[in-house]
Structure 1
Amino acid sequence: MMASLGVSTETWNERYLGLPVYVGQSRSKVFAYLKDRIWKRIQGWMERMLSKVGKEILIKACAQAIPIFAMTCFDITKGLCDDINSMICRHWWAYQDNDHKMHWLSWDKLTLPKKEGGLGYKDLHAFNMAMLAKQAWRLPAIDPVSLWAGLKARYYDTSVLLATPLEGISYSWRSILKGVDLLNMGVIKRVGDGSSINLWLDPWLPRNWCRKPITPRGQNVLTRVSELLDPTSGTWDARLVDDTFSIQDASLIKAIPVHEDIEDFWA
């Protein structure tokens, strides 16, 4: 392409639109610019005799807002998040750059909501994972002709929730897969007509520790939730449910509302 256009030299930009163009082996070096920007911004506040309320507003509106754009696309690493948290925490308890004040509360306490005794600061690593999970959650709803839709053709076949890392994938997609892992810890299939829910593999039982049936499948031939419904009444076939599942699973299943007039959906 350079020969066709008559270009003799090529300039490599480190960042484009505020994000790194290339992510190498050292993640800390690639995203170090975020730490530097926050540190320069905080140093500008050091000489000001701000009240605690003023410091809180500046930290939330400025210092913790700087890395948000990068967090929507990349896993900026837990180590970098911890470094940023340390800088912010040091600024919160001190007035000057060389002050080393006692930290009377841990950072974990400061990140709690105010109604629970904290200050509502962001846990940056948890926030980073939440932003990546949000990107993963949006993928199924994207217009099939959009540029983002090309991710499905390249990286996964059926559902983004079943996507796995492949050789040679980009760092941005590898980061989104971490958001997929977080989603899989909390998503659940809501029962509509039950036709698209795999009886044994999909998470569809409303409990916190395991949303899949814990009953051993054995030689059972049932594969879809719709097969557990009475075709006449449209409700659960109680006898079939009791014969198929353990008491614990059966009681949960019979308490799930059924909506035969809608399709199954993720929640």
Structure 2
Amino acid sequence: MVFTVLKERVWKKLQGWKEKLLSRAGKEVLLKAIVQYIRTYMMSLFGIPSGLLDEINALCARFWWGVRGKDRKMHWISWEKMYRAKSHGGLGFRDLKVFNQAFLTKQGWRLLCNQDSLVHQVMSAKYYVRSSFLEAGRGLDPSFIWRSIWGEKALLLEGLKWRMGDGTQISVEDAWLLGDSAVVVPTPNLECSANL
């Protein structure tokens, strides 16, 4: 599998550090700075299988709580609770599944907003010639990149709303809100004014 390189890199980074030499703060910095940022490029283009992300999280949890040879120490708190912000009793680690979703949703936002970009031109020529990214279907035999970005379109649609403006571009079926606080869905005459 192509994505096993992610797990192997995490494993190599963790094996390079001796557990006894690092304090809890040192382990936290190592996990946040090195392990959780390995290959964010891959996460921004591909939907990484959730089973693999669970395995990477398990490696991080084993490193955090400690492992000596084949003996594993007790995990006193679930790794999911450690995702919480420090102000809410967690340690602020990133949930890799949510991180992957956020990256892919941002790519969808870029396809929606940056219509002059080369990526938009290539994707629109192949997958949505006569429509916009929001109306695009999955297509027949799509690339893994397109399937990954298209799969997070529903998450993007949850946060998009029309800003009224003069009302000429709004359809009755579209979701819309009054006021300046609404997130803007780009139209041909309207630039993207909100960033993810």
Q: What's the TM-score, normalizing by structure 2?
A: 0.86
**Aligned residue among 11, 30, 34 for 2:6:** 34
Larger relative helix fraction: 2
Q: Which has the higher contact order (CA 8 A, sep 6+)?
A: 2
Structure 1 residue ranges (4+ consecutive) displaced by more than 4 angstroms after TM superposition: 262-267
**1:186 corresponds to:** 159
Deviation of the 1:179 alpha carbon: 2.4
Q: 1:264 to 1:61 in 2, by over 3 A?
A: closer
Aligned: 1:89 with 2:82: no
1:97 and 1:176 mapped to 2: Cα distance?
40
CA RMSD of superposed structures (Å): 2.1
Aligned: 1:121 with 2:89: no
Deviation of the 1:132 alpha carbon: 0.4
Query: What does the per-residue CA deviation read over 1:113-167, in whole Å, with 9 as the maximum and x for residues that have no partner?
Result: 1111111101001100100000110113325262542211211133212222011
Size of the aligned set, in residue pairs, is 185
1:192 and 1:150 mapped to 2: Cα distance?
31
Secondary structure of the 1:72 match is helix
Aligned: 1:160 with 2:133: yes
Secondary structure of the 1:57 match is helix
Query: What does the per-residue CA deviation read over 1:37-63, in whole Å, with 9 as the maximum and x for residues that have no partner?
Result: 111111111354210000000001111
**2:21 corresponds to:** 49
CA contact (8 A) 1:35 1:80 kept: yes
Secondary structure of the 2:37 match is coil
**1:175 corresponds to:** 148
2:120 and 2:192 mapped to 1: Cα distance?
22
Q: 1:67 to 1:48 in 2, by over 3 A?
A: farther
For residues 186-205 of structure 1, the aligned pairs below 5 Å read 186-200=159-173, 202-205=174-177
1:145 and 1:58 mapped to 2: Cα distance?
36
| Unaligned 5+ runs, structure 2 | 181-188
| Unaligned 5+ runs, structure 1 | 1-28, 206-255
Sequence identity (%): 43
Query: What does the per-residue CA deviation read over 1:170-194, in whole Å, with 9 as the maximum and x for residues that have no partner?
Result: 0011001122121012221121112
Larger Rg: 1
